[in-house]
Amino acid sequence: MTGPTVADVREARERLDGVARETPVYVSESFARMVGRDVWLKAENLQRTGSFKIRGAGNCLAMLSEAERAPGVVAASAGNHAQAVAWTAREAGVDATIFMPQDTPVAKVEATQNYGARIELGGEMFDDAYDAARAYADTTGATFMHPFEDERVIAGQGTIGLELVEQLPELGTVVVPIGGGGLAAGIATVVKELSPKTRVVGVQAAACAPFAGEEPRGLTIAEGIAVKNPGELTRAIVRERVDDVVTVTDEEISQAIVLLLERAKLVVEGAGAASLAALLAGRVGGEGTVAVVLSGGNIDASLLITVMRHGLTIAGRYLVVRSRVPDRPGELVKLLTLIAKERVNVVSVEHHREGMQVSVAETEVELTLGTRDEGHATALVEAMQRWGYPVERLR
């Protein structure tokens, strides 16, 4: 197996001076209580361009010769590598073309364009964009910047490992999202040499988890780690240096996003929240202090709203019920007054008369309600039934 050494990673850190930031780690009492061990959050979502990718792209571009820079660079990305390549290319005065899956979040597409790159959208997943970018490089002579299968990129990502070892010298476990494997390979290369007793655990989205030996089976909100075909180099490094690879569902990821926003005041995308999701789901194992790498924060605003509403619903914070009231003046107000006395907030009310199988003397109502938690939601449903209202819980 080949791959970058710790010396290569140290040199990468020197090249990245003024390019990538040393991101902070934050201790979380809330998450520590949930899992029974000290939890630190490595906030790469606060990194320049919003993710760790600036490290690998910056180191790779810095090592290109003038002949390699002259025809421009090309990359394939679900968003974060795209922004990193676009930003570093702009700063170096190099033309950049980025191929992205057609359903890449708008926020990532617009950010990449704003950094000066030319965008080509196509295909459903990263692998489709990858094939198109490779073909473009062969046709035009542009230099292809791989998002993970490149020693220079892996060395750049490994600088996170250097920071973690320095910031948390008593670290027991590091939890890292895995897509193509460059981040996990880089961090594990450093951690296993400088802190050999520290466990490294990789996390994949259940819908796309080749490192966990599972066949891809659909889309995921963690599109940043939805890579069907990782590289041979990253596979080899992960196999040798990463202690375990686990998976998390989109439900678990969405709940982690909500908790990070509520408890830590950090906006994190699906891929970036996967590591915390695994920890909260009890799949990380090990003992002692755990560091969770929040790899990126570039989540589309509309997706964030959807995830927040869904996460709050799963947690019992949003309750949606269907009921019926007599179709007479004052009856709906009577029901809403009773609900208000239970300290429940009414978010929305919808009437259904036409097309419904209800008595001519009744009207159906659908209520979206804000509750404290699942216990509060269950208590309200029981109260409505005591008041004589039929209740069908929708969410």
Give the catalytic positions in this structure.
53, 295
Q: Which residues of 303-331 are buried (b: 16+ CB within 10 A; e: fewer)?
A: bbeebbbbbbbbbbbbbbbbbbbebeeee
DSSP secondary-structure letter at 367?
E
Q: Is 24 left (phi over 0), alpha (psi -120 to 50) or beta?
A: beta
CA distance 225 to 344: 39
CA distance 122 to 101: 5
What contacts 362, CB < 8 A, 6 or more positions away? 324, 325, 326, 327
DSSP secondary-structure letter at 21?
-
What contacts 214, CB < 8 A, 6 or more positions away? 206, 247
- For residue 366, the surrounding DSSP H or E stretch is strand 362-370
Q: Within 10 A of 99 (CB to CB), how many other CB atoms are there?
A: 26
Question: For tokens 């790469």, what's the residue?
Answer: 44
CA distance 320 to 293: 35
Using DSSP, state whether 293 is helix, strand or coil.
Answer: strand
